[in-house]
Structure 1
């Protein structure tokens, strides 16, 4: 989990550093704006914005049972964030697997992407789709 929090922590620290200059000059409005922007970026990059991850085996079992897609993702991935944000509340209907927390999930992604951990990789009916369009994923729900 600590690996997933490195980017959000760095963003918070950068925001504090960026806000220090304006705060010392007495420009509190700019300092607050810097802090807020970096906090929002840290929140978007954190694993907290994604639905709770399950293991690869459990996600595949659930996906086979209810027909919902399984999404393999990792924190800090811009394409994963794009998919998550474009899906909105519908994202909770998918089964999410964090490949940094699940070695079997990382292996499944490497198996279908020529040895690369390219995410998001979405499995629909056991067929992999690497970095699919969010509209297409919505249609699969």
Structure 2
């Protein structure tokens, strides 16, 4: 759990240090803008923007019942963040597995990607798709898919 918060924490601390330096130089406006930028980066890279992760076995059980795709992801991955943001509210309808917290999830991703932990890996109807287009993933959630 702590590993997921390392990057956001470092971003907040770095932003605070940079802002303090700017304030000491007499640039409070620049300090505020830089601090806001660092806080935004920290928020985007935190686990907070992703729906609650479940284990790979639970995700496989749930997808067998409801047919929804499983997304294997990890904090700090810019492609995972892009997928999550572009899916918007639809993201809550997917089953999210954080491969840093679930060894079975990491193993599933390695099996699908020639031994690499390439994320996001989206599994739809038992077939893995590495870094798919978010519009395609959204289409897989529609009732006609």
Counterpart of 1:123 in 2: which secondary structure? strand
Counterpart of 2:117 in 1: which secondary structure? coil
Q: Name the counterpart of 2:109.
A: 109
Structure 1: 5+ residue stretches without partners: none
Counterpart of 1:76 in 2: which secondary structure? coil
Counterpart of 2:122 in 1: which secondary structure? strand
Pairwise mapping of residues 1-141 of structure 1 onto structure 2 (< 5 A)? Answer: 1-141=1-141
TM-score, structure 1 normalization: 0.98
Q: Aligned-pair distance for 1:9?
A: 0.8
**Take 1:4 and 1:140, find their aligned partners in 2: how far apart are those partners?**
28
**Take 2:130 and 2:31, find their aligned partners in 1: how far apart are those partners?**
40
Q: Aligned-pair distance for 1:28?
A: 1.2
Counterpart of 2:40 in 1: which secondary structure? helix
Q: Aligned-pair distance for 1:26?
A: 2.2
Q: Aligned-pair distance for 1:6?
A: 0.8
TM-score, structure 2 normalization: 0.95
1:25-72 CA-to-partner distances (Å, cap 9, x unmatched) read 222111111111100100000011100000001001111111100000
**Take 2:42 and 2:131, find their aligned partners in 1: how far apart are those partners?**
23
Q: Which deviates more from structure 2 when the two are superposed, residues 11-20 or residues 86-95?
A: 11-20
Structure 2: 5+ residue stretches without partners: none
